[in-house]
């Protein structure tokens, strides 16, 4: 088996993944994903890669010699994912590298960043939807953070205020403004 050099990848990190033309697609799981080869590889193989930046990771599965650059982050209330491998294109966005990141995130081995709020999640949050909304452009990062935690996840305003070091009044105001802005969009 050949030795991999992880010290000098041949690419540069993307500073702002949201500015990519079209952006990365949202993640969707195929109907038979738990029986797929990608899912089995994700659970059985070690990943020798690591983070490139907040939105991208280098994935190197133990049975292969290839390095893969994978976008894997939260945007809005969903996961965006994209891999540079042929399997990603062939299997409509569900390759072993994306599956590996989903698996490792689900069991708390990696941290995934929210591109809009900057918050990091050690596991998928309760409000996450795979076919969820990504266009929260009208909201500030703080408003979106409060909206996702309080409105979508059902966390109380006071509990969220304690967890974030904000006053309950501030969180209440953020939540009210977020609701108003989203109502105005409809």
Separation of alpha carbons 143 and 177, rounded Å: 7
Separation of alpha carbons 58 and 74, rounded Å: 17
What is the arithmetic mean of pLDDT over 145-166?
94
CA atoms within a 13 Å half-sphere pointing along the CA-CB vector of 126: 8
Separation of alpha carbons 77 and 79, rounded Å: 7
How many CB atoms within 10 Å of residue 32? 8
Structure tokens at 89: 């294109």
For residue 154, the model assigns a pLDDT of 92
Q: Locate all alpha helices (DSSP H) within the chain, ordered by sequence.
A: 37-44, 86-90, 96-106, 141-146, 157-164, 168-185
Say if residue 45's pLDDT is above 70. yes
pTM assigned to the model:
0.75
How many CB atoms within 10 Å of residue 10? 6
* Widest Cα–Cα separation across the chain: 59
For residue 9, the model assigns a pLDDT of 41
| Integer CA distances (angstroms), 123 to 8, 14, 37, 83, in order | 29, 24, 23, 20
For residue 6, the model assigns a pLDDT of 38
Element (H, E) at 99: helix 96-106
Highest mean pLDDT among 17-26, 39-48, 92-101, 175-184: 175-184
Secondary structure in 3-state letters for 46-83? CECCEECCCCEEEECECCCCCCEEEEEEEECCEEEEEE
What is the arithmetic mean of pLDDT over 91-113?
89
Q: For residue 81, what are the β-bridge partners?
A: 72
Structure tokens at 41: 């590889």
């Amino acid at each position: 088996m050949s030795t991999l050099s992880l010290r000098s990848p041949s690419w540069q990190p993307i500073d702002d993944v949201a500015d990519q033309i079209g952006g990365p697609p949202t993640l969707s799981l195929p109907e038979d994903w738990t029986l797929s080869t990608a899912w089995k590889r994700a659970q059985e193989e070690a990943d020798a890669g690591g983070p490139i930046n907040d939105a991208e990771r280098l994935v190197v599965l133990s049975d292969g010699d290839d390095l893969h650059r994978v976008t894997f982050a939260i945007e809005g209330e969903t996961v965006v994912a994209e891999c540079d491998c042929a399997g990603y294109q062939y299997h409509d966005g569900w390759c072993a590298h994306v599956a590996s990141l989903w698996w490792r995130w689900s069991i708390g081995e990696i941290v995934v960043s929210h591109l809009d709020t900057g918050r990091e999640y050690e596991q998928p949050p309760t409000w996450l939807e795979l076919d969820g909304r990504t266009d929260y452009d009208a909201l500030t990062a703080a408003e979106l953070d409060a909206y996702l935690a309080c409105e979508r996840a059902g966390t109380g305003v006071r509990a969220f205020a304690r967890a974030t070091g904000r006053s309950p009044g501030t969180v209440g105001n953020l939540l009210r403004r977020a609701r108003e802005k989203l109502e105005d969009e409809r």
